[in-house]
Structure 1
Amino acid sequence: MELYYSFSVLIVLASIFSYLNIRYLKLPSTIGVMLIAMFVSMALVVLGNIYPALLRDFSEILKDVDFTEVLMGAMLNFLLFAGAIHINLSDLREQKLPVIVFSSISVVISTFAIGSILFYLLPYLSIDLPFIYCLLFGALISPTDPIAVLGILKGANVPKSLETKVAGESLFNDGVAVVVFAVILKLTQGSDVDISFGNISWLFIKEALGGLLLGVVLGIGSANFMRKVDDYKVSVLMTLSVVMGGYLVAHSLHISGPLTMVSAGLVLGNYGKRSHTIAPATKDYLNKFWELIDEILNAILFLFIGFELLLIPQVFDYWAVGLLAIVVVLMGRFLSIFIPARMIPFNEKFDMPTIRILVWGGLRGGVSIALALSISNGPYKELIISITYFVVVFSIVVQGLTIGKLANRVLPKT
């Protein structure tokens, strides 16, 4: 019941903060809710000096919820499916090569670029972080967050082809990032890990292709059932079963749950609810249901990100290295886009304005925080969590609020 009470409090706060944002701040919902939660967190810290029980009780509510498990094992599946079900597969097919490259090769380039630059610069701040932990930070911060990206791009004025590249990359790069992070995390723990090219390649194939194939099977199967029944209540239940049951299957097979949800959502969104044999009313109910799920879970997620400030009491002690990490992550993002754009013969040329949008639009979010929190307790965990938080907040607030303005300024008018 404690978990139920914790979620009840979070739902109530998410609804109140969403109202305050729409009524007064008028910011994108994810950013507004997170900023209000951060402000309340800081207020609770101040009031905690006067009423210690208030801060302690609220912190206990947050500690009752395992953010890593809740996000990576539950919320992420719903949010990825909700995002993928609204993406046009023909648009994605036109951008397939950039999406594949940026969601795989670019993640690896970014991991090593960020880790290497950070390892070289940290001694200037009198911080000694082993190279393997610098790489670990590079791995967890490299994947662009699909939840943050899809939420912000809805209101950003960017060309459709560019939006598809950024959104497609963010949906597919989790499979690669999780494998890279898992391997490096085992190395930090001194585990005996086979880091041969063959073993790592097999891990990628198993995680990525296994997840994609499972999602396609689930999507086609459920689409066929929906065509034969064509009842909006049953159709909604079918999509819920794909998300919840599909994750259980993916987890038991040790393949990528996020990629399973993405491919299932794409199949259902393009070959399921767009079928001529399904009534318009059923399609409308499906669209509205998953839009509502997306909005509710986004509000809870970014509320949680704002309140994570309470669980990192010494975060502001790392402000200098946090600012350095922001710059380093942007440098790593630039290299991960610039190098493939210059070396791989894409069908369309990537000029500097386009690269700038791709770099600035690569937002980080809850996935990076969840991976940072999953690190075992040790001398470097607090540092990594703190600088991850700095990067995520900067990414969502500053990059998220300015990506549309940057696009209007640097891209040619059409």
Structure 2
Amino acid sequence: MIVGVGATHALWLLAIPVCAIAVAALARRFGTPAPLALVIAGLVVSFLPGVPEFELEPEIVLYVFLPPLLFSAAWQSSYYNMRDNVRSIGALSVGLVLFSTLLVGFAAYWLVPDLPLAPALVLGAILAPPDAVAAVSVAQRLGLPRRLVTILVGESLFNDATALTVFRVALAAAVGTGFSLAEGAGRFLYAAVAGAVVGLLLGPPLHWLRTRLNDPLVENSVALAAPFAAYLIAELVHASGVIAVVVSGLYLGHRFTDSPAITRLIGHSFWKVMVFILESVVFLLIGLQLPPVLDGLSDRGWGSLAWWAAAVFGVTVLARFLWVVATSYLPLWSGRGEERWAPDWRGRVVIGWAGMRGVVSLAAAFAIPFVTSAGDPFPGRDLVLFLTFTTVLATLLVQGLTFPALIRRMRVGGGRERYADTVAEAGAQHAAARAALDRLEELTRDDGALDADVVERLRTLAEQNQLRAWERLGGGTGQDGAEVPSATYRRLRREMLAAERATFVRMRDERRIDDEVLERVLHELDLEEVSLARD
């Protein structure tokens, strides 16, 4: 629920996603990172007169927003890349979360006079997990090496599970329901292992069901239900819903090649739209949290609050840098130098600066109860909310705005990697086309009655695919700068498709064909046009 918005303000429920989509669209048009633009827009709107108070309900974030976002990221991630970097991902998603919880928690306890140790550790657990959405989008756009992107994505997938478990343990100590180090470690191990088991048990039957439905819409509906089912089932057995969602997403994403082509096309488009809307709304809501966060702080001096906020932000950033530098050499000590996750100091700087916090931290902060088990007010709740908001905001604005410039300054782009990918793709396309030609020859030998013109057209198409794969290495131009045949083919074919499309539409408008006929023929044209597109 969103507190403060009643039935008479129902238009605000529509205004939030509409404004979020509009701001995100403008940000994409002007090349600005959408999360940063959305947070700033939310801050501006929160100061406007007449705007109601929007307060994030933790259950909405954890049960509605988080599962599909995690599932989509896991679905699109490479299982093999994750496996190859499992030690680096584990060091960040588990070790760094624990280290940040302790360092930030004790720093807040020492710096803030009114904050007891237990609530300070709660604050540390809240601020421990970075949200890599903004960092990954910038890293991919600027061509950061794949291994660093994989580590950032893997960290963002698994660190929420660690942080939420540590948060619950710290919160239990703060409210006085009992806590021991052994109990906390046992709870964490159980949540992680049981969550992975739930994800592994759920993935195969869902994949089996999807491959036998033979209906693209129903298959993608099953995929949509998967993250919510995994999260709820895991939470029912007190396991980590985050890990369950991630594991099931990795499994189903790894097996997506078993689905029909039309199912993959629809699913790819659906998840892109879904993630775009959810992320836009989430980051706008972060900016709108300022009024609720400021409630209850009127009796505190703004100078002290600013100093505490700056100090907690600084320690949060420092904790990541310290951990990244310290653990980057550990694989070398174990004799496994090939697993070293950062190639040089530049890579470590980039990873260290990619620590933007997000909505999970805010949701955890708002989940803090108002009273302890003894009925007393939770000590420092308003202060924890304020420090969480200021740190989330500072990381998004300070680190987010400077992250692209840092990548360019460090010169860690993956130019060679992209060229190697292009060469590998060309080789794979060549091999695939050769296999297609071999199969065509087999079919021709088995059935001598095949139409010769059809066979020749298919053979020519396969040969063109072979040539097109290698022409792509030239970036669409030949040695003399002229347009290569494959680029000419795509350009001319797009113009022909546009002429066909206009003809079909004109015939529909003249009532010579029905809308259903138009939909079928346009779908075929759209599929062909999509197949012509190259990033």
TM-score range, shorter chain: 0.7 to 0.9
Aligned pairs for 1:238-257 within 5 A: 238-257=222-241
**CA–CA distance in 1 between the matches of 2:137 and 2:243?**
19
Q: Which AA in structure 2 matches 1:409?
A: R
**1:82-128 C-alpha deviation (Å, 9 max, x unpaired):** 11111111111111111122111221111112222333334xxxx33
Over the aligned positions, Cα root-mean-square deviation in angstroms equals 2.3
Which amino acid is the alignment partner of residue 384 of structure 2? Answer: I
Match of 1:341 in 2: 328
Deviation at 1:389, TM superposition (A): 1.1
Alignment match of 1:76 (pick from 51, 60, 66): 66
Cα separation, 1, equivalents of 2:245 and 2:154: 13
Q: Answer yes or no: is the 8 Å Cα contact 1:305–1:366 preserved in 2.
A: yes
Q: Give 2:22's aligned residue.
A: 16
SS at match of 1:85: helix
Which residue type is aligned with residue 295 of structure 1? F
* Aligned counterparts of 1:412 and 1:105: Cα–Cα separation in 2: 25
Matches within 5 A, 1:403-414: 403-412=403-412, 414=416
Quick check: 2:140–2:149 contact (8 Å CA) kept in 1? no
Query: Do the aligned partners of residues 148 and 412 (structure 1) sit closer, same or farther apart at CA in structure 2, a change above 3 Å counting?
Result: closer
User: CA contact under 8 A between 1:211 and 1:258: conserved in structure 2?
Assistant: yes
Q: What is the distance in 1 between the residues matched to 2:101 and 2:201?
A: 32
State the one-letter code of the partner of 1:171. L
* 1:230 to 2:230 alignment: no
CA offset digits 1:155-205 (Å, max 9, x no partner): 343111001111101101122111111111111112222x143x3332122
Which residue of 169, 172, 184 maps to 2:155? 169
Q: CA offset at residue 290 of structure 1?
A: 0.9
Tell me if the contact between 1:21 and 1:27 (Cα under 8 Å) persists in the aligned partners: yes
Q: Point out where structure 2 has 5 or more consecutive residues left out of the alignment.
A: 1-5, 371-377, 417-535
Higher RCO (C-alpha under 8 Å, 6+ residues apart)? 1
C-alpha distance in 2 between matches for 1:6 and 1:202 = 44
SS in 2 for 1:274: helix
Task: Tell me the equivalent position of 2:397.
Answer: 397
Larger radius of gyration between Structure 1 and Structure 2: 2
Task: Determine the C-alpha separation between the residues in 2 that align with 1:15 and 1:177.
Answer: 29
With 3-12 and 397-406 compared, the bigger mean Cα shift is at 3-12
Change (3 A) 1:5 1:69: farther
**Further displaced range: 281-290 or 402-411:** 402-411
Q: Which residue of 2 aligns with 1:388?
A: 388
CA contact (8 A) 1:106 1:340 kept: no
Residues in 1 aligned to 2:110 and 2:185: alpha-carbon distance in whole angstroms: 29
Question: In 1, Cα distance between the equivalents of 2:10 and 2:86?
Answer: 42
- The whole-number CA distance in structure 1 between the counterparts of 2:314 and 2:234 is 36
Against the structure 1 CA distance between its residues 88 and 230, is the aligned structure 2 distance closer, same or farther, given a 3 Å change threshold?
farther
CA shift in 2, pair 1:265/1:146, >3 Å:
farther
Report the 3-state secondary structure (helix = DSSP H, G, I; strand = E; otherwise coil) of the residue aligned with 2:328.
Answer: helix
Residues 266-277 of structure 1 correspond to what in structure 2 (within 5 A)? 266-271=250-255, 273-275=256-258
State the alpha-carbon separation in 1 of the partners of residues 314 and 286 from structure 2: 21
- CA shift for structure 1 position 219: 1.9
SS in 1 for 2:141: coil
Give, in whole Å, the separation in 2 of the partners of 1:379 and 1:394: 24
Residue type matched to 1:338 in 2?
V
The one-letter amino acid paired with 1:390 is T
Structure 1 residue 353 corresponds to structure 2 residue 353: no
Q: Structure 1 residues 297, 151: closer, same or farther in 2, change over 3 A?
A: farther
Q: Is the 8 A contact 2:111 2:308 kept in 1?
A: no
Whether the 8 Å contact between 1:230 and 1:282 is mirrored in structure 2 is no
Q: Following the alignment from structure 2 to structure 1, what is the Cα–Cα distance between the partners of residues 412 and 231?
A: 42
Please state how far the C-alpha of 1:313 moved relative to its aligned partner: 2.8
Note if contact 1:109-1:335 (Cα within 8 Å) is conserved in structure 2. Answer: no
Distance in 2 of aligned mates of 1:191 and 1:341:
38
Q: TM-score, normalised by structure 2?
A: 0.68
- Give the C-alpha shift of residue 334 in structure 1: 1.7
1:87 matched to 2:77: yes
Q: Distance in 1 between matches of 2:272 and 2:234?
A: 24
Report how many residues are paired: 389
> What CA deviation, in whole Å up to 9, does each residue of 1:199-258 have, x standing for no partner?
333212221121122112222211122222232101111112212222221221111111
- Pairing 1:280-319 to 2, within 5 Å after superposition: 280-313=261-294, 317=302, 318-319=305-306
SS in 1 for 2:239: coil
CA distance in 1 between counterparts of 2:107 and 2:289 reads 27
Is residue 2:37 matched to residue 1:32?
A: yes
Task: Note the residue ranges of structure 1 that are not aligned, 5 or more in a row.
Answer: 48-53
- The equivalent of 2:310 in structure 1 is 323
Q: Secondary structure at the match of 2:257?
A: coil
CA-CA distance at 1:140 after TM superposition: 0.9
Aligned-residue sequence identity (percent) comes to 26
Aligned letter for 2:149?
Answer: E
Which TM-score applies when normalising by structure 1? 0.87
1:109 corresponding residue in structure 2? 99
Q: For the structure 1 residues 284 and 357, does the alpha-carbon distance in structure 2 shift closer, same or farther, using more than 3 Å as the test?
A: same
Tell me which stretches of 4 or more aligned residues in structure 1 moved more than 6 Å.
Answer: none
Which of 190, 202, 206 lines up with 1:206 in the alignment? 190
In structure 2, the CA distance between the partners of 1:187 and 1:247, relative to structure 1 (3 Å rule), is same
